[in-house]
Amino acid sequence: MPKKLFSHGRRYLGILRFFVVIIGFVFAVHITHRECARVNPSPIREASPVPDAVEPQPAGNSEEVFQATAYCISGITKSGVPTTPGIIAADPEVIPLGSMIYVESPLMGGFYQVMDTGKAIKGKIIDIFIPSYEACINFGRRMVKVRVLRYGFEENEKKEVREPTE
């Protein structure tokens, strides 16, 4: 009889281990999201005024100075794709969705695609997606040079909706 009881104990022990791993994973994800959504307790400084939106000009080699910030909250962007490194948010009246840009900055310089917008992003402001909360805090708010390589989505990237043929 004790042998049978012991085999049930192993079975329940395996199930218990499985649930402990699942619960640990859920807590890890919850803590990570809570950390990213946490508001920085440091005092808020007044930002310098940002110029109003400008008319998009043809893509070229002209560089403009933008204010850059960073965000780490994951989700779906305005264009419908998940947030990943290499994506930024910008005012669509300044830089349209789908535009390719080059950011000149010692910390987060490189090529980015505008795939998101935001309520607080008006005028010459970009918001760079960085997955790490600490890296976002370290990035802060800084002035960067931005060069637009391509405005908006290219026509061949847009998908047409066709009526089904019978």
57 pLDDT more than 60: no
pLDDT tens by residue, 134-163: 888 888 899 999 999 988 875 444 444 344
* Domains of the chain: total: 2
Domain that holds residue 91: 63-154
**DSSP states of 129-145 as a string?**
E-S-HHHHHHH-SEEEE
| C-alpha to C-alpha distance for 44 and 49, rounded to whole angstroms | 15
pTM: 0.57
Contact 124, 50 (CB under 8 A): yes
Hunting for tokens 């900055």 — which residue is that? 105
Is residue 99 domain-shared with residue 20, that is, in the same domain? Answer: no
Residue 30 lies inside a defined structural domain of this protein: yes
Residue 8 lies inside a defined structural domain of this protein: yes
Is residue 75 domain-shared with residue 147, that is, in the same domain? Answer: yes
Is residue 86 domain-shared with residue 16, that is, in the same domain? Answer: no
Is residue 15 domain-shared with residue 78, that is, in the same domain? Answer: no
CATH number, domain with residue 106: 2.40.40.10
Contact 114, 96 (CB under 8 A): yes
15 pLDDT more than 50: yes
The per-residue pLDDT for 35 is 57
| C-alpha to C-alpha distance for 24 and 113, rounded to whole angstroms | 35
Name the E strands within 58-118: 63-71, 87-90, 100-104, 110-116
76 pLDDT more than 90: no
Is residue 126 domain-shared with residue 67, that is, in the same domain? Answer: yes
